[in-house]
């Protein structure tokens, strides 16, 4: 028995040894800095001097001051909208590639979906500003076609523009997991459903969609979590009413010289996003378990 | 009939989606060659001026050089770290494996601003100066999960009996790794290098937080966005970057297919 | 008898809570063709991998050529393996594959080249040196794997289900080629297989494994004619199991009452497991005969009704219902010239002999 234990732990030792460089790196450059940010969020800063007495002051400000609360809620709302919009945009495309494209051409289609994302991120967002702008492509075309007399102003420098631009940026990241989930569906299950009397719509709702749910969920989380921290899109196309929490965090760290408040805002945003994600995962698991049982 | 109808709707949506998807990429070269100083419609004429103007922009070359240095070093380090983790996770069982792997994959879903802020705090608290190295540290952190994902797939696809056969034929673990394992996962390593290089080259937020006096290309571009008179040359720069990226991708795909043909594996699947 | 080439004592192997090998002890003789036979999951592949050095036993020890293998890694063992999927390196040519193990042993390039050519010729692959693995058929890949291992002149060659991926025709051809090759090189072969026919036709001795232990180690003939218990008898070929009641010992054997067949004295050597505890009578299909007319005679005769007929061309298998036996009994008849094939429902006289009855635990 001791020999057994020795051997099992040798494999474990080899595995841990092999993973240790990567793990050490992540501990040093992710865990430790995050811990420091948490610590910092309990300190205070007054101009350039940092007071190291622990206090909840930053959190009180972050959670009660109307401006921060409004920004946080707006960020959550925009992220949620982007998530829903992106997943809805992505699903039919993933479905098309998985079910209507011949196997040999699937890689080509996936490649096609990702090509636009090899343009610079910043320039891509800037181009949306051009497209949606007052003299932009959309307005120019609409005026040119005589559909409108005056350029539309509600399509740039607001939350709609932010949602549209972010959805564009994240849609391939939503297509891929949904596509993978659809690919995993055993095609004979669909034939079985049809054989048992389901029409295409019922079959889709009763078999395809439930089986694709893990992919949809992954897509939603992959989009939702990072978008809350997006900085560039709100700055370029959001206008004053489209700014998000990341812009405020940056402001606190740089111009406003209040890093502890910035840290508190960052930690708050992270905690809220994690909480929502966990609830979301839990609900999904219950939903799946309910169906299974 | 109903199937045909459904397919048609899907096709209409597909076309609309592709227009939406490709709109920025298509407009980029259009404005890059448009002679007007204003980046807007209607177009006025054809010109190479904006490309010529780029050649006279000294800071652009510095920023490009900085970005290339960062991207190359990041790609190498992230791929090495990714190789360790991918190998460990596909080959060994060890305690807390799920937790460890989940933790090293965490930057994949963490908002980049969090990574940028936390590294900034550490560097400032330690009293260190911001430099290209601080950006590299951040970029390696966010690129490693991508490398792990790509390399895990490669290692998973590698039949363990090849390594056992090599060992059985009298070769050491090291020789086996160099002669068998590495060549067989080479496509994954190339993909990992390429993807992390590209992510690093294009990454803005972390670079924005962690750059000192030396700007990276995206940080430099961010500076340009605020000057309307520089926008046409920005379009030209974007066009060049797009073309370079695509050439890189095509070259990588070519190398991959060459490798696939040599080993006779099915030449399907792409880099992403 | 000379010293065994492999001697294993009390080999244990556990994967977590699963005991894959439960104290296996056995010896393999110099120059024999040895098979490990058993259903999937019986531990035969694990045992082979323990010999090769890919798995370290949890307990027990193993000697190869008299040398203890404790802590000797696979690359230092005098064994070489032919893998189930052949593991021919896809990024190397056939010649590079065969040369792979020689590189560290032979410094002289010409000598190496000569040995590679010899090995390829031995497996019938002259002129294939420049090909890649994906340009070869399954059978050719297997030859490469063989050449690659044999060129190193191992003390023992290990073969892990090497024929399972081939179609039936090619498999039979490779079986005979492997046998010839083994005789020609004189190296000890250990073959893992789940195919009892393969094990019987190719091997000098076969170890039948169940649930991590060896149930019987014997020559193919002994295995077929004197299986030690019900499991082995059922796994090797077809065996009819019939209820039996022990009546008592008589000089030279034991008297039993076989359901449907009647009283019979069975010699002691036909009851390898003894007659204690629950036992059954076993009788092979070919030991039963249909008596077509009065000129056909047998030591004992019973009667039955044909239930099912399976016609194989050279043979016909009948399932026969015999009064007093719950399950139909399978019977095999060679289709010699002029012999009729019976139909379901036909009555038939069935002949058998006491010398074909086994008593099995």
pLDDT tens per residue across span A63-105: 998 999 999 999 999 999 999 999 999 999 999 999 888 888 8
Query: Mutation test of the interface with chain B: which of C14, C49, C74, choosing the one with the most B Cβ atoms within 10 A?
Result: C74
- C267 strand-pairing partners: C253
Which chain C residues touch A11 with a CB distance below 8 Å? none
Mean pLDDT of chain B: 85
Sign of the alpha-carbon torsion through A104, A110, A116, A119: negative
Could you tell me which of B134, B106, B104 has the C-alpha nearest to residue B119?
Answer: B134
To the nearest whole Å, the CA of C13 is away from the closest chain A CA by 9
Per-residue b or e along A271-293, where b marks 16 or more CB atoms closer than 10 Å to that residue's CB: ebbeebeeeeeeebeeeeeeeee
Across the interface, of C87, C91, C135, the residue whose CB is closest to B183 is C91
What's the pLDDT band for B27 if we cut at 50, 70, 90? confident
Q: What is the mean pLDDT of residues A195-204?
A: 81
**How sure is the predictor about A4, in pLDDT bands with cuts at 50, 70 and 90?**
very low
- Please answer yes or no on whether A122 and B93 come within 8 Å at the CB atom: no
User: By CA distance, what is A1's nearest residue in C?
Assistant: C58
**Interfacial B residues in 86-115 facing C (CB < 8 Å):** none
Residue ranges of alpha helices (H) inside A52-206 are 57-64, 66-100, 106-114, 121-132, 137-144, 159-184, 187-195, 200-203
Q: How confident is the model at residue A195 (pLDDT cuts 50, 70, 90)?
A: confident
A-C contacts at Cβ under 8 angstroms: 7
Q: Which residues of C touch A8 (CB under 8 A)?
A: 16
Check B272 against A111: CB less than 8 A apart: yes
Q: How many CB atoms lie within 10 A of CB A103?
A: 8
**Among C79, C78, C64, which Cα is nearest to C7's?**
C64
The answer to whether residue B1 scores a pLDDT higher than 70 is: no
Please tell me which chains touch B, using 3 or more CB pairs under 8 Å as the contact test.
A, C
Q: What ranges in chain C are assigned the alpha helix state H?
A: 44-52, 94-99, 109-122, 138-150, 168-185, 196-202, 220-225, 230-235
Strands C156-160 and C188-193: parallel
Place of tokens 């997006």: A230
Between chain B and chain C, the number of residue pairs with CB atoms below 8 A apart is 74
pLDDT of residue A238: 85
Distance, CA of A45 to CA of A67 (rounded, Å): 19
Helix axes B58-91, B97-105, angle to 10 degrees: 170
What is the spatial distance between Cα C47 and Cα C65, in angstroms, rounded to a whole number? 17
Going from the first residue of chain C to its last (361 residues), give the mean pLDDT of each consecutive group of 10, the final group possibly shorter: 86 89 94 95 94 92 93 92 91 93 90 94 92 89 94 94 87 91 94 94 95 95 91 92 89 88 88 82 92 82 91 92 88 88 90 89 86
Tell me which chain A residue has its CA closest to the CA of residue B137.
Answer: A29
- A7 inside 8 A of chain C by CB: yes
B117·A262 Cβ contact <8 A: yes
Query: Which residues does chain B have within 8 Å of residue C79's beta carbon, measured at their own beta carbons?
Result: 168
pLDDT tens digit sequence for B136-178: 999 999 999 999 998 998 888 888 899 999 999 999 989 999 9
How far is CA A226 from each of CA A38, A173, A246, B41, C17, rounded to the nearest angstrom? 19, 11, 11, 33, 42
Chain A residues near residue C56 by CB distance under 8 angstroms: 7
Tell me the DSSP string of B199-266: HHHH--HHHHHH--SSPPHHHHHHHHHT-GGGHHHHHHHHHHHHHHHHHHHHHHHHHHHHHHHHHT--
Give the Cα separation of C122 and C183 in Å (integer): 12
- The partner residues of C305 in beta bridges, in order of sequence, read C321, C347
Distance CA C337, CA C78 (A): 54
Residue B5, pLDDT > 60, answer no
Backbone dihedral angles phi then psi of residue C159, each to the nearest 5 degrees: -125, 115
Strand, coil or helix: what is C20? strand
User: In B46-159, which ranges are continuous DSSP H helix?
Assistant: 49-55, 58-91, 97-105, 112-125, 132-157
- Given an 8 Å threshold on Cβ–Cβ distance, is C14 in contact with A4? yes
Contacts C134 to B, Cβ<8 Å: 263-265
pLDDT at A5: 47
**Nearest one of B25, B9, B13 to A93, comparing CA atoms:** B13
Across all residues in chain A, what is the average pLDDT? 85
C79-82, strands of its sheet edge to edge: C79-82, C156-160, C188-193, C33-37, C205-210, C213-218
Answer whether residue B260 shows pLDDT above 90. no
Cβ–Cβ < 8 Å for C236, C224 = yes
8 A C-beta contact, residue C129 and residue C143: no
B76 closest CA partner among B143, B156, B152: B143
Residue C224 near residue C358, CB atoms below 8 Å: no
b/e burial code for range A67-93 (CB count within 10 A of at least 16 → b)? ebeebbebbbebbbbbbebbbebbbbb
Q: State the DSSP code for A226.
A: H
pLDDT-derived band at B2 (thresholds 50, 70, 90) equals very low
Contact A1, C19 (CB under 8 A): no
Nearest to B28 among A29, A89, A119 (CB): A119
Closest listed residue to residue A105, CA positions, set B242, A113, B23, B192: A113
Provide the shortest C-alpha distance from residue A292 to chain C (in Å).
Answer: 29
Q: Which of A14, A33, A110 to mutate to test the interface with B (most CBs of B within 10 A)?
A: A33
Looking at beta carbons, which residues of chain C come within 8 Å of B94?
Answer: none
Q: Could you tell me what percent of chain A has a pLDDT over 90?
A: 33
- Our CA-based measurement puts residue B225 at a distance from the nearest CA of chain A, in whole angstroms, of 8
Element (H, E) at A268: helix A259-292
pLDDT tier, B263 (very low <50, low <70, confident <90, very high otherwise): low
CA distances from C361 to A165, C37, C228 (A): 77, 20, 8
Say yes or no for a CB contact (<8 Å) between C80 and B159: no
Of B99 and B269, more confident: B99
Question: Which residues 14-33 in chain C show a CB within 8 A of chain A?
Answer: 14, 16
Is the confidence at residue A7, as pLDDT, over 60? no
Per-residue pLDDT band at A120 (split at 50, 70, 90)? confident
What tens digit of pLDDT does each residue of C226-266 get? Answer: 899 999 999 998 999 999 998 888 888 889 999 888 889 98
Question: What's the pLDDT score for residue B55?
Answer: 85
**By percentage, how much of chain B surpasses pLDDT 70?**
92
Q: How confident is the model at residue B266 (pLDDT cuts 50, 70, 90)?
A: very low
Residues 6+ apart with CB under 8 A from C340: C292
pLDDT value at residue B261: 65
Residues in chain A with CB shorter than 8 Å from the CB of B198 are 118
* Whether the Cβ atoms of residue B158 and residue B87 lie closer than 8 Å to each other: no
Could you tell me if residue C71 is left (phi over 0), alpha (psi between -120 and 50 degrees) or otherwise beta?
left
Q: Give the closest of A112, A228, A263 to B111, CB-based.
A: A228
Start-to-end CA span in chain A (Å): 40
Is C59 in the A-facing interface, judged by CB distances under 8 Å? yes
Q: How far apart are CA B140 and CA B107, in angstroms?
A: 10
Of C81, C104, C132, the CB nearest to B168: C81
DSSP B178: I
**A3/C14 CB distance under 8 A:** no
Range with lowest mean pLDDT among B15-29, B37-51, C114-128:
B37-51
Q: Which residue of A has its CA nearest to B270?
A: A107
Nearest CA distance, B20 vs chain A (angstrom): 8
A interface test, pick of B34, B38, B99, B111 with most A CB neighbours within 10 Å: B111
With H, G, I as helix, E, B as strand and everything else as coil, classify residue C56.
coil
Cα angle vertex C310, ends C305, C315, to 5°?
A: 105
Distance from C-alpha of C245 to C-alpha of C255, rounded to nearest angstrom: 9
Interface of C with A in 106-165 (CB under 8 A): none
Q: Is C32 exposed, middle or buried (0-12, 13-18, 19+ CB in 10 A)?
A: middle
When scoring A1, A2, A3 by the number of chain C Cβ atoms within 10 A, the one with the most, hence best to mutate, is: A3
Whether residue C357 is preceded by a cis peptide bond, meaning omega within 30 degrees of 0, is no
DSSP conformational letter for A204: I
On the 0-12 / 13-18 / 19+ scale of CB atoms within 10 A, B145 is buried
Rg of chain A taking only CA atoms, in angstroms: 24
The residues of C whose Cβ lies within 8 A of any Cβ of B are 52-54, 73-76, 79-81, 83-85, 87, 89-91, 100-101, 104-105, 132-135, 145, 148-149, 152
Contact indicator for C282, C230 with CB cutoff of 8 Å: yes
Say yes or no: A140 contacts chain B, CB-CB below 8 A: yes
Beta bridge partners of C282: C241, C358
| Average of per-residue pLDDT across B18-41 | 85
pLDDT digits (tens, 9 = 90+) for A156-166: 788 888 999 99
Q: How far apart are CA A16 and CA B85, in angstroms?
A: 9
Contacts of A4 in chain C (CB under 8 A): 14, 58
Chain C residues in contact with B161 by the CB 8 A cut-off are: 83-85, 87
Q: Which residues of B touch C73 (CB under 8 A)?
A: 167
| C-alpha to C-alpha distance for C58 and C60, rounded to whole angstroms | 7
B165/C89 CB distance under 8 A: yes
pLDDT over threshold 80, residue B39: no
Look up the pTM and report it. Answer: 0.81
Which other chains touch chain C, taking contact as 3+ CB pairs less than 8 Å apart? A, B
């Amino acid at each position: 028995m001791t020999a057994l234990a020795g051997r099992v732990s040798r494999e474990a030792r080899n595995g841990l040894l092999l993973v240790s460089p990567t793990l050490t790196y992540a501990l040093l450059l992710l865990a430790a800095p995050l811990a420091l940010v948490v610590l910092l969020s309990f300190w205070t800063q007054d101009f350039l001097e940092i007071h190291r007495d622990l206090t909840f002051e930053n959190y009180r400000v972050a959670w009660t001051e109307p401006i921060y609360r409004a920004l946080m809620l707006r960020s959550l709302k925009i992220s949620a909208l982007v998530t829903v919009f992106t997943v809805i945009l992505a699903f039919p495309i993933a479905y098309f590639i998985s079910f209507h494209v011949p196997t040999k051409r699937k890689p080509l289609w996936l490649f096609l979906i990702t090509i636009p994302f090899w343009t610079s991120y910043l320039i891509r967002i800037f181009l949306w500003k051009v497209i949606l702008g007052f003299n932009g492509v959309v307005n120019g075309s609409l005026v040119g076609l005589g559909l409108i007399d005056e350029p539309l102003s509600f399509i740039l420098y607001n939350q709609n523009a932010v949602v549209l631009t972010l959805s564009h940026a994240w849609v391939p990241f939503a297509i891929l997991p949904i596509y993978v989930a659809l690919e995993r569906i055993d095609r004979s299950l669909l034939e079985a459903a049809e054989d048992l009397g389901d029409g295409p719509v019922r079959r889709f709702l009763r078999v395809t969609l439930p089986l694709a749910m893990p992919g949809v969920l992954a897509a939603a989380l992959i989009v939702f979590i990072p978008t809350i921290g997006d900085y560039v899109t709100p700055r370029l196309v959001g206008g004053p009413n489209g700014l998000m929490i990341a812009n405020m965090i940056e402001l606190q760290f740089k111009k406003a010289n209040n890093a502890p408040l910035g840290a508190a805002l960052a930690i708050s945003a992270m905690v809220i996003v994690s909480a929502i994600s966990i609830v979301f995962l839990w609900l999904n698991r219950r939903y799946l378990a309910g169906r299974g049982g | 009939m109903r199937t045909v109808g459904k397919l048609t709707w899907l096709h209409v949506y597909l076309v609309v989606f592709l227009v939406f998807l490709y709109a920025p990429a298509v407009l980029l070269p259009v404005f890059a060659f448009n002679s007007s100083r204003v980046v807007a419609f209607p177009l006025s004429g054809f010109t190479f001026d904006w490309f010529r103007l780029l050649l006279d922009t000294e800071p652009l070359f510095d920023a490009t050089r900085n970005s290339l240095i960062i991207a190359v070093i990041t790609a190498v380090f992230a791929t090495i770290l990714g190789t360790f983790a991918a190998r460990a996770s596909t080959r060994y069982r060890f305690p807390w494996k799920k937790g460890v792997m989940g933790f090293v994959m965490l930057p994949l879903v963490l908002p980049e601003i969090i990574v940028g802020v936390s590294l900034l705090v550490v560097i400032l608290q330690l009293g260190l100066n911001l430099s290209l190295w601080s950006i590299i540290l951040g970029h390696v952190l966010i690129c490693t999960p991508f490398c792990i994902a790509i390399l895990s797939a490669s290692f998973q696809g590698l039949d363990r009996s090849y390594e056992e056969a090599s060992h059985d034929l009298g070769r050491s673990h090291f020789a086996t790794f160099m002669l068998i394992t590495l060549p067989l996962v080479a496509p994954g390593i190339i993909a990992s290098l390429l993807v992390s290089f590209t992510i690093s080259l294009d990454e803005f937020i972390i670079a924005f937080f962690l750059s000192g006096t030396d700007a990276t290309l995206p940080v430099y571009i961010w500076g340009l966005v605020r000057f309307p008179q520089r926008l046409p040359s920005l379009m030209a720069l974007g066009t060049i970057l797009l073309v370079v990226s695509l050439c890189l991708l095509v070259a990588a795909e070519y190398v991959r297919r060459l490798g696939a043909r040599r080993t006779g594996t099915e030449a399907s699947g792409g880099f992403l | 008898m000379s010293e065994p080439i492999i001697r294993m004592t009390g080999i244990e192997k556990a994967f977590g809570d699963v005991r894959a090998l439960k104290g296996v002890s056995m010896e393999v003789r110099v120059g024999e063709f040895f098979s490990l036979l058993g259903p999937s999951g019986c531990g035969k592949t694990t045992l082979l991998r323990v010999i090769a050095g890919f798995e370290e036993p949890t307990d027990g020890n193993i000697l190869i050529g008299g040398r203890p293998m404790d802590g000797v890694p696979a690359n230092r063992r005098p064994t070489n393996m032919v893998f189930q999927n052949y593991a021919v390196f896809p990024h190397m040519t056939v010649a590079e594959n065969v040369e792979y193990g020689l590189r560290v042993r032979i410094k002289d390039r010409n000598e190496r080249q000569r040995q590679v050519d010899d090995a390829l010729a031995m497996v019938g692959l002259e002129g294939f040196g420049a090909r890649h693995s994906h340009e070869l058929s399954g059978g050719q890949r297997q030859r490469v794997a063989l050449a690659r291992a044999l060129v190193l002149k191992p003390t023992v060659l290990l073969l892990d289900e090497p024929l399972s991926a081939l179609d039936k025709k090619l498999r039979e051809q490779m079986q005979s080629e492997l046998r010839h090759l083994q005789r020609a090189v004189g190296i000890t072969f250990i073959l893992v297989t789940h195919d009892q026919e393969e094990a019987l036709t190719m091997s000098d001795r076969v170890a039948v494994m169940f649930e991590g232990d060896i149930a019987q180690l014997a020559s193919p003939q002994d295995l077929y004619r004197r299986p030690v218990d019900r499991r082995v008898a059922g796994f090797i070929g077809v065996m009819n199991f019939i209820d039996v009641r022990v009546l008592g010992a008589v000089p030279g054997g034991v008297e039993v009452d076989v359901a449907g067949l009647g009283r019979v004295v069975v010699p002691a050597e036909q009851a390898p497991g003894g007659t204690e505890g629950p036992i059954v009578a076993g009788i092979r299909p070919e030991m039963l005969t249909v008596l077509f007319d009065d000129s056909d005679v047998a030591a004992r005769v019973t009667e039955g009704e044909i239930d099912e007929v399976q016609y194989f061309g050279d043979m016909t298998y009948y399932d026969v219902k015999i009064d007093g036996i719950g399950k139909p009994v399978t019977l095999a008849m060679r289709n010699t010239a002029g012999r009729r094939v019976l139909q379901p429902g036909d009555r038939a006289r069935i002949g058998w002999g006491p010398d074909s009855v086994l008593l099995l635990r």
